[in-house]
Amino acid sequence: MASFPTTPGAREHTFDAIVIGSGISGGWAAKELCDRGLRTLVLERGRNVEHLKDYPTAVANPWDLPRRGRLTHEIVRDNPIAKKCYAFDEATSHFFVKDAEHPYQQEKPFDWIRGYQVGGKSIIWARQTQRWSRFDFEGPARDGFAEWPIGYEDLAPWYSHVERFSGISGNRDGIEELPDGEFLPPWELNTVERHLRGGIEKSFAGRRVVIGRCAHLTEPQPIHLEQGRGKCQARNTCYRGCPFGGYFSSVSSTLPWAARTGRLTLRPNSVVESILHDEATGRASGVRVVDAVTRQVTEFHARVIFVNAACLNTNLILLNSRSARFPAGLGDDHGLLGRYVAFHNYRGSLSASVDGFLDSYYSGRRPTQAMMPNFRNLRRQETDFPRGYMVFFSAFRPGWTQGDGTPGVGAAFKERITKPGPWRISMMMQGETVPLRENHVRLSPDRKDSWGIPQLVTSIGYTDDDVRMVKDFLREGEAMLSAAGAKGIRTLDDKRNPGLDIHEMGGVRMGKDPKKSLLNRWNQLHACPNVYVTDGASMASTGVQNPSLTFMALAARAANHAADEMKKGNL
């Protein structure tokens, strides 16, 4: 595929709109703004990545990789944080920021996983996509810790908008706490998962097991073919970049679409140092950029600015955008910027085995799991911890050496490992944590990164409620697996650090009251309305569902609002 074209005014420094960040939400903002006729500059701090051209390991066989996918001892030693990510290996390490490349300070342990390139983490995300329900939007106000300025009904049409374009597979299950969407044909539960579903749903009223919903093209529609994308091949090498365009990413979908309008200017290697504030107008006038390679400083200007640098970097940029009007950071009048950062609780997991079913297997490498919508504290408070959790699980038949741990050598051993072993089950949680004022990020007063920008200090931790949630999940998970006939059930609280869920949210939260939030119902800064924040930083709470689909819907909604306001002359 050819490089993204640039507009005739690419060499100019003034645009209609600037989008900071080219990941999942930034790509959507760029697409919508360009579709609405706005000359849009997208600034990406990392290198350029083009669909097809820049996936060097996408079709590599295991034997093509010098270390068969394993990391070197040096990489493991030098990356104590990045190495923890499930997707970080020999075939994908080029899509991850190494620990030393952009340091930060951990006042409390926080594992910040980053991808600096065009497309951001949309190349390496896990692609699980569920709509939030009314319970996710209404629950925080009920429990008194946040107040969303919008509800499910406000976002529902925008969920549909991004689902149809992105391509989301799933069933229409008719579950209020897991709203249905605009789905492509679903992946299927395998034999043992259907067996587990029957046992769980029979023994636990109100608990539903469904196939996961994911951003994979099971049956491409004309809109996907128009993007140049094809059917998912169930290869399980997604994190390397998909040459088929089978899953949604900015580089295979939204950015090329925006480029075809002729209104997109994409500028990689552009580290945004700060957003410029015009004291005379009370609006943002542009951004200051440090070239990642040359360190040259440049300024770009636009009528509207979208900040989509991914949650913590968005906080960093706004904190560093200080002026006489905003000495604590752009839009911060009440000391809220950088506070109320939250994440998803992934600490609990279970494993087990299931007897029988040895005449059954499955084909392909399905890119999703079985899942169970939240059943805790949904309509009222029921437990000794607030909020709730989703459950994900899968059943599979590993090779014999994985199943029984028996080593071997010779022809008999090789013959044995060609056959699958007995069925195993893996189960995990995804729990909502409550945003707290003390969970925050701030700028270091004395340490700067290699671009001359203050490093970010992270001070984000668990609470006793989070630990009680883990214990509840492990107890309920064991009960559900036992009721479904599982054997040898083992529970684990891995005590992982916050951040490894890669679902960090907040710090620039939406809200109804400008004294308690930074963004309004359209994702505009209350105090600087031509700046929109539409990535994870904008979230007032984390919900239970995966967040990426909500980021996309918020970005599309806000971009169209900005275009409407510009047309009216309000921005």
The reply to whether 4 falls in a domain is: no
Task: Say how far apart CA 371 and CA 171 lie, in whole Å.
Answer: 12
Per-residue CA distances from 298 to 295, 360, 484 (Å): 9, 61, 62
- CB-based burial label for 401 (10 Å; 0-12, 13-18, 19+): middle
Verify that 245 and 258 share a domain, yes or no.
yes
Verify that 50 and 60 share a domain, yes or no.
yes
Residue ranges in 308-399 assigned as alpha helix (H): 311-319
The reply to whether 3 falls in a domain is: no
Verify that 492 and 506 share a domain, yes or no.
no
The reply to whether 256 falls in a domain is: yes
Q: Is the pLDDT of residue 3 over 60?
A: no
Strand partners for 490: 351
pTM surpassing 0.85? yes
- CB-based burial label for 524 (10 Å; 0-12, 13-18, 19+): buried
pLDDT at res. 5? 41
> Which among 262, 184, 144 is positioned nearest to 516, based on CA atoms?
144
Q: Is the pLDDT of residue 8 over 70?
A: no
Verify that 323 and 373 share a domain, yes or no.
no
**Domain coverage including residue 371:** 186-212+349-432+462-497
The reply to whether 9 falls in a domain is: no
Phi, psi torsion values for 153, nearest 5 degrees: -65, -30
Structure confidence by residue, pLDDT tens digits, 542-556: 999 999 999 999 999
Structure confidence by residue, pLDDT tens digits, 257-305: 999 999 999 999 999 999 999 999 999 999 999 999 999 999 999 999 9
Verify that 205 and 303 share a domain, yes or no.
no
Q: Which helix (DSSP H) or strand (DSSP E) does residue 387 occupy?
A: none
Q: Is the pLDDT of residue 401 over 60?
A: no
Verify that 155 and 54 share a domain, yes or no.
yes
Verify that 92 and 143 share a domain, yes or no.
yes
The reply to whether 181 falls in a domain is: no
Pairing assessment for the beta strands 14-20 and 40-43 based on DSSP bridges: parallel
Specify the range with the lowest mean pLDDT, choosing from 348-352, 399-403, 516-520.
Answer: 399-403
Contact 4, 259 (CB under 8 A): yes
> What average pLDDT is seen over the chain?
95
Verify that 394 and 543 share a domain, yes or no.
no
Among 497, 518, 545, give the residue marking a domain's end.
Answer: 497
> Which among 266, 262, 255, 263 is positioned nearest to 42, based on CA atoms?
266
Structure confidence by residue, pLDDT tens digits, 143-166: 999 999 999 999 999 999 999 999
The reply to whether 2 falls in a domain is: no
Verify that 455 and 542 share a domain, yes or no.
yes
The reply to whether 531 falls in a domain is: yes
The mean per-residue pLDDT over the stretch 388-394 comes to 98
Verify that 50 and 138 share a domain, yes or no.
yes
Check residue 64 and report its DSSP letter. Answer: G
**Total domains, the chain:** 2
* In the block, residue with structure tokens 């919900």: 543
The mean per-residue pLDDT over the stretch 344-361 comes to 96
Verify that 41 and 31 share a domain, yes or no.
yes
- CB-based burial label for 30 (10 Å; 0-12, 13-18, 19+): buried
Verify that 557 and 468 share a domain, yes or no.
no
Indicate which CATH number applies to the domain containing 232: 3.50.50.60
The reply to whether 144 falls in a domain is: yes
